[in-house]
Amino acid sequence: MTVQVLGVAVPVPLPRVFDYRPPPGLAVPADAVGRRVRVPFGPREHVGVVVAVTALPAATAAGLRPAHAWLDESPLLGGELLDTLRWASAYYAHPLGEVIQAALPVVLRRAQPPPVARGRHYLVTAAGERAAEAPAYRRRKRLLRLLALLATGPRTAAEIAEHVTRAGRLVDEALAEGLIEIVSAHLPTAPALIGPPLDPQQAEAVAAIAAAAGGYAAFLLDGVTGSGKTEVYLTAIRACIERGRQALVLVPEIGLTPQALRRYRERLGVPIAMLHSGLADGARAQAWLAAARGDAPVVLGTRSAVLTPLARPGLIVVDEEHDASYKQQDGWRYHARDLAVVRARALGVPVVLGSATPSLESLANVAAGRYRSLQLTRRAGRAEPPRMQVVDLRRQRLHDGLSEAAIAALAQTLERGEQALVFRNRRGYAPTLLCHDCGWYGECPRCDARLTVHRASRLLRCHHCSYETALPKQCPACGSDGLMPLGVGTERLEEHLAARFPDARILRFDRDSTRTRSEFEERYAAIEADGPAILVGTQMLAKGHDLPRLTLVVLVDVDAGLFSTDFRGPERLAQMVVQVAGRAGRADRPGTVMLQTHHPDHPLLRTLLADGYAAFAAAELEARRLAQLPPAVHLVVIRAEARDAAVLERYFAAVRELIGETAEVGVRGPLPAAMARRDGYLRRQLVLEAGSRAPLQRLLARHLEALHALPAARRVRWAIDVDPLEVD
Residues forming contacts to Zn ion in the complex (CB under 5 A) are 435, 437-438, 440, 444, 446-447, 462, 464-465, 467, 475, 477-478, 480
Q: Evaluate the CA torsion angle 198, 204, 205, 210 in order and state its sign.
A: positive
Residues in the chain: 728
Q: Which does 214 bind (CB under 5 to 8 A by kind): ligand ADP, Zn ion, none?
A: none
Residues near 398 by Cβ (< 8 Å), separated by ≥ 6?
Answer: none
Q: Is 385 in the site for ligand ADP (CB under 6 A)?
A: no
196 binds, among ligand ADP, Zn ion, none (CB under 5 to 8 A by kind): ligand ADP
If the CB atoms of residues 446 and 650 are measured against Zn ion, the closer one turns out to be 446
Q: Which amino acid is at 485?
A: P
How many residues form the binding site for ligand ADP (CB under 6 A)? 15
According to the binding rule CB under 6 A, does residue 225 interact with ligand ADP? yes
Site for ligand ADP contains 198 (CB under 6 A): yes
CB-based burial of residue 189 (10 Å sphere; 0-12 exposed, 13-18 middle, 19+ buried)? exposed
- Please, is 530 exposed, middle or buried when counting C-beta atoms within 10 Å of its C-beta (0-12, 13-18, 19+)? exposed
Measured N-to-C along each axis, helices 167-176 and 141-150 cross at an angle, to the nearest 10 degrees, of: 80
Residue closer to ligand ADP by CB (options 75, 226) is 226
CB of 634 within 8 A of CB of 646?
Answer: no
Cβ 539 to ligand ADP, closest distance in Å? 17
Residues 6+ apart with CB under 8 A from 38: 45, 46, 47, 48, 67, 68, 69, 71, 111
Quote the least distance from Cβ 466 to ligand ADP, whole Å.
37
Residue 546 is which amino acid?
Answer: D
Decide which of ligand ADP, Zn ion, none touches 521; Cβ closer than 5 to 8 Å per partner kind.
Answer: none
Backbone angles phi, psi at 160, to 5 degrees: -65, -40
Q: Which residue is nearest to ligand ADP (CB)?
A: 228
DSSP label at residue 163: T
591 touches ligand ADP by CB under 6 A: no
- Residue 13 as a binder of ligand ADP (CB under 6 A): the answer is no
Provide the residue type at 726 as one letter: E
CB of 343 to ligand ADP, least distance (A): 23
CB of 224 to ligand ADP, least distance (A): 7
Which one among 199, 266, 448, 521 touches ligand ADP, defined by CB under 6 A?
Answer: 199
Near ligand ADP by CB under 6 A: residue from 7, 11, 95, 226: 226
Does residue number 320 form part of the binding site for ligand ADP (CB under 6 A)?
Answer: no
| Residue 547 Cα distances to 437, 525, 526, 542, 591, angstroms | 46, 11, 11, 11, 11
Identity of the amino acid at 240: C
Task: Select from 64-72, 91-99, 198-206, 530-538 the region that touches ligand ADP (CB under 6 A).
Answer: 198-206
Interaction partner, residue 230 (ligand ADP, Zn ion, none; CB < 5-8 Å by kind): ligand ADP
Q: Which stretch binds ligand ADP (CB under 6 A): 224-232, 329-337, 556-564, 596-604?
A: 224-232
Distance (Å, rounded) from C-alpha 714 to C-alpha 722? 21
CA distance 640 to 678: 12
Task: Choose among 425, 424, 422, 426: nearest CA to 554.
Answer: 422
Q: Contact 261/274 with Cβ under 8 angstroms?
A: yes
403 binds ligand ADP (CB under 6 A): no
Coil, helix or strand at residue 68 = coil
Q: Using the rule CB under 6 A, is 223 a contact of ligand ADP?
A: yes
Name which of Zn ion, ligand ADP, none residue 444 binds, using a CB cut-off of 5 to 8 Å depending on partner kind. Zn ion
Site for ligand ADP in 362-381 (CB under 6 A): 380-381
231-270 positions binding ligand ADP, by CB under 6 A: 231
What distances in angstroms separate CA 275 from CA 28, 188, 302, 339, one per listed residue? 33, 20, 7, 17
- Asked whether the beta carbons of 374 and 208 are under 8 A apart, the reply is yes
Q: How far is the CB of 468 from ligand ADP (least distance, A)?
A: 39
Q: Of ligand ADP, Zn ion, none, which one does residue 268 interact with (CB within 5 to 8 Å by kind)? A: none
Smallest separation, CB 652 to ligand ADP (Å): 45
230 binds ligand ADP (CB under 6 A): yes
Q: Where are the alpha helices (DSSP H) in 368-463?
A: 404-415
Chain residues in the site for ligand ADP (CB under 6 A): 196, 198-199, 202, 223, 225-231, 380-381, 546
